[in-house]
């Protein structure tokens, strides 16, 4: 394994230039979509030559994720010229199925396409002073979690949403941010964010806007 870092202002993005294939879990949210864009940059610059296999597990209450993900990936290809060789998606008709598919989609896709590592877009919780209660207590903001594990990269694990916003602005891709969607309120009208769910509050805290 050979780890190198792509620097964006004060932020570092890990990659392995020796990988022939790499996976990416992508939901269409701002965090995983940013990973897709940076991988596109790395491919366009010749820093990686990996085939990229994307994986999307669509929740039954949020049946926009596959569509938004495809629009994100098409944007990245248009902007960078890099393609995503394989796009794997699954629709989960229930919460129970969704939880099962969270791990299954990675293992089954890994077995099918033969990649050894994949990227995940999980971020740190907003700090306590933000006033936003933690969504997941494993998403602490102690800045010392490992971003590289045996089978995955978690480049944003020590960064919160304001850090992600800074990277979007540094790369001048706020138009990509406008394509992404974080809202998890049950709806079939996806014209705007609800502004009330935890994910909307985190998004607004980080970016100062929903779209």
Contact (CB, 8 A) for 109 and 23: yes
Cα 77 to Cα 43, 73, 155, distances in angstroms = 10, 6, 21
83: which 2 tokens?
A: 């393609």
Q: How many CA atoms within 13 Å lie on the side-chain side of 102? A: 8
pLDDT score recorded for residue 164: 97
Are 100 and 136 a contacting pair, CB within 8 Å? Answer: no
Q: How many CA within 13 A on the CB side of residue 16?
A: 22
Report how far residue 148's alpha carbon sits from residue 188's, in angstroms, rounded to the nearest whole number: 37
Q: Are 53 and 39 in contact (CB under 8 A)?
A: no
What is the model's pTM?
Answer: 0.93
Task: Give me the average pLDDT of each 10-residue run along the chain (211 residues).
Answer: 93 96 96 98 98 93 88 98 96 89 92 96 90 71 76 94 97 97 71 84 94 85
Max intra-chain CA distance, the chain: 45
pLDDT of res. 193: 84
């Amino acid at each position: 394994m050979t780890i190198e870092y792509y620097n964006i202002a004060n932020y570092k993005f890990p990659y392995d230039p020796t990988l022939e294939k790499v996976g990416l879990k992508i939901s269409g949210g701002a965090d995983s979509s940013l990973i897709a864009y940076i991988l596109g940059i790395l491919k366009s610059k010749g820093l990686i030559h990996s085939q990229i296999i994307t994986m999307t597990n669509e929740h039954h209450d949020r049946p926009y994720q596959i569509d938004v993900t495809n629009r994100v990936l098409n944007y990245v290809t248009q902007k960078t010229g890099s393609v995503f060789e394989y796009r794997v998606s699954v629709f989960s008709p229930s919460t129970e199925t969704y939880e099962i598919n969270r791990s299954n989609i990675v293992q089954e896709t890994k077995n099918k396409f033969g990649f050894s590592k994949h990227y995940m877009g999980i971020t740190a919780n907003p700090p306590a002073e933000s006033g936003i209660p933690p969504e997941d207590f494993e998403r602490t903001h102690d800045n010392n979690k490992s971003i590289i594990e045996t089978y995955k990269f978690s480049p944003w694990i020590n960064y919160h949403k304001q850090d992600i916003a800074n990277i979007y602005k540094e790369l001048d891709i706020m138009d990509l941010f406008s394509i992404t969607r974080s809202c998890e309120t049950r709806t079939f009208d996806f014209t705007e964010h609800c502004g009330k769910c935890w994910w909307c509050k985190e998004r607004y805290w980080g970016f100062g806007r929903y779209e």
